[in-house]
Amino acid sequence: MSMRLEGKTALVTGATSNIGRAIAEAFATEGAHVVVSGRSAERGKAVVDGIRARGGRADFVRADLDGSAAASRALAQETTQILGGRIDILVNNAGIYPNSTTATTDEKTFDQVYAVNVKAPFFLTAAVAPAMVAAGGGAIINLGSWIARLGIPVGSLYSSTKGAVETLTRAWAAEFGPRGVRVNAISPGVVQTPATGEVHPAEIMMKGTPAGRMGTPDAIANAAVYLASEETSFVHGIVLDVDGGRTTTAVIAA
Protein backbone atom coordinates (compact mmCIF):
# COMPACT_ATOMS: atom_id res chain seq x y z
CA MET A 1 0.00 0.00 0.00
CA SER A 2 1.49 3.34 -1.07
CA MET A 3 -0.18 5.50 1.64
CA ARG A 4 0.30 8.69 -0.39
CA LEU A 5 -1.91 10.63 2.03
CA GLU A 6 -0.66 9.19 5.29
CA GLY A 7 -1.04 11.64 8.16
CA LYS A 8 -3.36 13.92 6.18
CA THR A 9 -6.91 14.93 7.04
CA ALA A 10 -9.64 15.45 4.47
CA LEU A 11 -13.20 16.69 4.10
CA VAL A 12 -15.21 15.39 1.14
CA THR A 13 -18.65 16.91 0.54
CA GLY A 14 -21.38 14.89 -1.12
CA ALA A 15 -19.47 11.79 -0.07
CA THR A 16 -22.34 9.40 0.59
CA SER A 17 -22.64 8.13 -3.00
CA ASN A 18 -21.09 7.92 -6.47
CA ILE A 19 -17.99 10.11 -7.08
CA GLY A 20 -17.83 11.59 -3.59
CA ARG A 21 -17.99 8.18 -1.96
CA ALA A 22 -15.25 6.84 -4.23
CA ILE A 23 -13.01 9.80 -3.38
CA ALA A 24 -13.54 9.37 0.36
CA GLU A 25 -12.78 5.66 0.14
CA ALA A 26 -9.67 6.25 -1.98
CA PHE A 27 -8.35 8.91 0.41
CA ALA A 28 -8.83 6.58 3.37
CA THR A 29 -7.07 3.75 1.53
CA GLU A 30 -4.13 6.11 0.99
CA GLY A 31 -3.91 6.83 4.72
CA ALA A 32 -5.97 9.98 5.22
CA HIS A 33 -8.43 10.51 8.06
CA VAL A 34 -11.58 11.42 6.13
CA VAL A 35 -14.74 13.23 7.11
CA VAL A 36 -17.59 11.98 4.94
CA SER A 37 -20.23 14.68 4.58
CA GLY A 38 -23.72 14.54 3.13
CA ARG A 39 -27.40 14.87 3.94
CA SER A 40 -28.19 11.21 4.62
CA ALA A 41 -26.96 9.88 7.95
CA GLU A 42 -27.86 6.34 6.89
CA ARG A 43 -25.79 6.46 3.71
CA GLY A 44 -23.01 8.29 5.50
CA LYS A 45 -22.80 5.58 8.14
CA ALA A 46 -22.58 2.94 5.43
CA VAL A 47 -19.60 4.69 3.84
CA VAL A 48 -17.85 5.20 7.17
CA ASP A 49 -18.49 1.62 8.30
CA GLY A 50 -17.06 0.33 5.02
CA ILE A 51 -13.91 2.43 5.35
CA ARG A 52 -13.39 1.38 8.96
CA ALA A 53 -13.95 -2.27 8.10
CA ARG A 54 -11.02 -2.01 5.68
CA GLY A 55 -8.81 -0.48 8.34
CA GLY A 56 -9.23 3.17 7.37
CA ARG A 57 -10.16 6.20 9.46
CA ALA A 58 -13.41 8.01 8.78
CA ASP A 59 -16.20 9.93 10.47
CA PHE A 60 -19.53 11.25 9.23
CA VAL A 61 -20.76 14.81 9.55
CA ARG A 62 -24.27 15.51 8.36
CA ALA A 63 -24.57 18.75 6.42
CA ASP A 64 -27.21 20.28 4.17
CA LEU A 65 -25.08 22.67 2.13
CA ASP A 66 -27.90 24.95 1.02
CA GLY A 67 -25.65 27.80 -0.01
CA SER A 68 -25.84 29.74 3.21
CA ALA A 69 -22.55 30.88 4.67
CA ALA A 70 -23.72 29.59 8.05
CA ALA A 71 -24.13 26.01 6.80
CA SER A 72 -20.69 26.00 5.22
CA ARG A 73 -19.04 27.51 8.29
CA ALA A 74 -20.75 25.00 10.57
CA LEU A 75 -19.47 22.09 8.49
CA ALA A 76 -15.95 23.49 8.49
CA GLN A 77 -16.02 24.01 12.25
CA GLU A 78 -17.35 20.56 13.14
CA THR A 79 -15.00 18.85 10.71
CA THR A 80 -11.99 20.73 12.10
CA GLN A 81 -12.85 19.57 15.62
CA ILE A 82 -13.24 15.93 14.55
CA LEU A 83 -9.99 15.98 12.59
CA GLY A 84 -7.95 17.26 15.49
CA GLY A 85 -7.79 20.92 14.60
CA ARG A 86 -7.00 21.01 10.90
CA ILE A 87 -8.26 20.16 7.42
CA ASP A 88 -5.42 19.39 5.00
CA ILE A 89 -7.57 18.52 1.98
CA LEU A 90 -10.98 19.84 0.94
CA VAL A 91 -12.97 18.29 -1.89
CA ASN A 92 -15.91 20.41 -3.06
CA ASN A 93 -17.97 17.67 -4.65
CA ALA A 94 -21.57 18.14 -3.46
CA GLY A 95 -23.91 19.29 -6.20
CA ILE A 96 -27.35 18.87 -7.73
CA TYR A 97 -28.45 18.39 -11.32
CA PRO A 98 -31.90 19.72 -12.24
CA ASN A 99 -33.90 17.68 -14.71
CA SER A 100 -35.21 20.65 -16.67
CA THR A 101 -34.49 22.68 -19.78
CA THR A 102 -33.85 26.42 -19.97
CA ALA A 103 -37.44 27.19 -20.86
CA THR A 104 -38.86 24.99 -18.10
CA THR A 105 -36.53 26.10 -15.28
CA ASP A 106 -38.29 28.25 -12.72
CA GLU A 107 -36.60 30.87 -10.57
CA LYS A 108 -36.71 28.75 -7.43
CA THR A 109 -34.85 25.92 -9.14
CA PHE A 110 -32.32 28.35 -10.61
CA ASP A 111 -31.56 29.83 -7.21
CA GLN A 112 -31.37 26.42 -5.52
CA VAL A 113 -28.90 24.99 -8.04
CA TYR A 114 -26.63 28.02 -7.80
CA ALA A 115 -26.88 27.92 -4.01
CA VAL A 116 -25.78 24.30 -3.75
CA ASN A 117 -23.33 24.16 -6.67
CA VAL A 118 -21.64 27.57 -6.36
CA LYS A 119 -22.45 29.40 -3.10
CA ALA A 120 -21.89 26.40 -0.85
CA PRO A 121 -18.36 25.60 -2.10
CA PHE A 122 -17.57 29.32 -2.20
CA PHE A 123 -18.35 29.84 1.47
CA LEU A 124 -16.87 26.48 2.50
CA THR A 125 -13.62 27.42 0.81
CA ALA A 126 -13.81 30.83 2.49
CA ALA A 127 -14.03 29.04 5.84
CA VAL A 128 -11.35 26.42 5.20
CA ALA A 129 -8.65 28.05 3.05
CA PRO A 130 -7.51 30.71 5.57
CA ALA A 131 -7.12 28.01 8.21
CA MET A 132 -5.03 25.99 5.75
CA VAL A 133 -2.83 29.05 5.21
CA ALA A 134 -2.40 29.47 8.94
CA ALA A 135 -1.50 25.77 9.30
CA GLY A 136 1.16 25.97 6.61
CA GLY A 137 -0.67 24.74 3.52
CA GLY A 138 -3.27 22.43 2.05
CA ALA A 139 -5.03 21.27 -1.09
CA ILE A 140 -8.47 22.11 -2.42
CA ILE A 141 -10.06 20.08 -5.20
CA ASN A 142 -13.23 21.24 -6.94
CA LEU A 143 -15.48 19.14 -9.15
CA GLY A 144 -16.30 20.69 -12.49
CA SER A 145 -17.91 19.00 -15.50
CA TRP A 146 -17.19 18.31 -19.14
CA ILE A 147 -20.39 20.13 -20.13
CA ALA A 148 -18.97 23.34 -18.68
CA ARG A 149 -16.87 23.59 -21.85
CA LEU A 150 -18.64 21.46 -24.44
CA GLY A 151 -22.14 22.67 -25.13
CA ILE A 152 -24.93 20.11 -25.28
CA PRO A 153 -28.65 20.81 -25.71
CA VAL A 154 -29.57 19.85 -22.13
CA GLY A 155 -28.28 20.87 -18.73
CA SER A 156 -27.65 24.57 -19.37
CA LEU A 157 -28.22 25.58 -15.74
CA TYR A 158 -25.97 22.86 -14.33
CA SER A 159 -23.22 23.48 -16.87
CA SER A 160 -23.20 27.18 -16.03
CA THR A 161 -22.66 26.43 -12.35
CA LYS A 162 -19.77 24.13 -13.17
CA GLY A 163 -18.29 26.81 -15.39
CA ALA A 164 -18.40 29.09 -12.37
CA VAL A 165 -16.67 26.47 -10.22
CA GLU A 166 -13.89 26.05 -12.78
CA THR A 167 -13.41 29.83 -12.90
CA LEU A 168 -13.28 29.94 -9.10
CA THR A 169 -10.60 27.26 -9.21
CA ARG A 170 -8.27 29.53 -11.16
CA ALA A 171 -9.13 32.56 -9.03
CA TRP A 172 -8.54 30.67 -5.80
CA ALA A 173 -5.26 29.27 -7.10
CA ALA A 174 -4.10 32.85 -7.61
CA GLU A 175 -5.50 33.97 -4.24
CA PHE A 176 -4.32 31.14 -2.02
CA GLY A 177 -1.50 29.47 -3.96
CA PRO A 178 1.18 31.98 -2.97
CA ARG A 179 0.29 31.23 0.66
CA GLY A 180 0.71 27.47 0.38
CA VAL A 181 -2.74 26.22 -0.63
CA ARG A 182 -2.95 24.45 -3.97
CA VAL A 183 -6.34 24.71 -5.72
CA ASN A 184 -7.20 22.53 -8.70
CA ALA A 185 -10.27 20.94 -10.26
CA ILE A 186 -11.35 17.71 -11.90
CA SER A 187 -13.72 17.74 -14.85
CA PRO A 188 -15.41 14.31 -14.99
CA GLY A 189 -16.95 12.95 -18.16
CA VAL A 190 -20.04 10.77 -18.16
CA VAL A 191 -19.59 8.78 -14.97
CA GLN A 192 -22.10 6.20 -13.79
CA THR A 193 -22.17 2.77 -12.21
CA PRO A 194 -24.86 0.86 -14.12
CA ALA A 195 -26.24 -2.38 -12.81
CA THR A 196 -24.84 -5.57 -14.27
CA GLY A 197 -26.17 -6.03 -17.79
CA GLU A 198 -27.77 -2.58 -17.84
CA VAL A 199 -27.17 -0.18 -20.71
CA HIS A 200 -27.30 3.31 -19.25
CA PRO A 201 -29.01 6.00 -21.38
CA ALA A 202 -25.93 8.24 -21.03
CA GLU A 203 -23.72 5.64 -22.72
CA ILE A 204 -24.55 7.21 -26.09
CA MET A 205 -22.77 10.40 -25.03
CA MET A 206 -19.44 8.59 -25.00
CA LYS A 207 -19.65 7.36 -28.57
CA GLY A 208 -16.99 8.98 -30.72
CA THR A 209 -14.53 9.28 -27.84
CA PRO A 210 -11.20 7.46 -27.43
CA ALA A 211 -12.55 5.61 -24.38
CA GLY A 212 -15.82 4.70 -26.09
CA ARG A 213 -17.54 4.06 -22.79
CA MET A 214 -18.68 5.73 -19.60
CA GLY A 215 -16.26 6.24 -16.75
CA THR A 216 -16.48 4.91 -13.22
CA PRO A 217 -16.29 6.82 -9.93
CA ASP A 218 -12.94 5.16 -9.22
CA ALA A 219 -11.39 6.95 -12.20
CA ILE A 220 -12.28 10.30 -10.66
CA ALA A 221 -11.13 9.18 -7.23
CA ASN A 222 -7.71 8.24 -8.61
CA ALA A 223 -7.37 11.73 -10.07
CA ALA A 224 -8.38 13.26 -6.73
CA VAL A 225 -5.70 11.28 -4.90
CA TYR A 226 -3.15 12.54 -7.41
CA LEU A 227 -4.16 16.18 -6.95
CA ALA A 228 -4.26 15.83 -3.17
CA SER A 229 -0.83 14.24 -2.91
CA GLU A 230 2.62 15.81 -2.82
CA GLU A 231 3.17 14.52 -6.35
CA THR A 232 1.36 17.63 -7.52
CA SER A 233 3.21 20.16 -5.38
CA PHE A 234 3.96 22.17 -8.56
CA VAL A 235 0.41 21.99 -9.94
CA HIS A 236 -1.84 25.02 -9.44
CA GLY A 237 -5.08 26.20 -11.03
CA ILE A 238 -5.64 23.38 -13.51
CA VAL A 239 -8.84 21.65 -14.56
CA LEU A 240 -7.91 18.01 -15.06
CA ASP A 241 -10.13 16.36 -17.66
CA VAL A 242 -11.02 12.81 -16.68
CA ASP A 243 -13.61 12.29 -19.37
CA GLY A 244 -12.41 9.58 -21.73
CA GLY A 245 -11.34 12.25 -24.20
CA ARG A 246 -14.84 13.70 -24.58
CA THR A 247 -13.81 17.38 -24.64
CA THR A 248 -10.54 17.09 -26.53
CA THR A 249 -10.72 14.32 -29.10
CA ALA A 250 -13.10 12.99 -31.73
CA VAL A 251 -12.82 9.56 -33.28
CA ILE A 252 -15.06 7.82 -35.76
CA ALA A 253 -17.89 6.25 -33.81
CA ALA A 254 -18.60 2.64 -34.57
Residues serving a catalytic function are 158
Of 149, 126, 137, 115, nearest to 239 (Cα)? 149
Q: Determine the Cα–Cα distance for residues 252 and 148; give it in Å rounded to an integer.
A: 23
Q: Determine the Cα–Cα distance for residues 55 and 1; give it in Å rounded to an integer.
A: 12
- Residues 135/180, Cβ–Cβ less than 8 Å: no
Beta-sheet pairing, 33-38 with 57-62: parallel
Helices (H), 83-215: 107-114, 120-135, 156-176
Beta-sheet pairing, 138-143 with 9-12: unpaired
Q: Determine the Cα–Cα distance for residues 180 and 86; give it in Å rounded to an integer.
A: 15
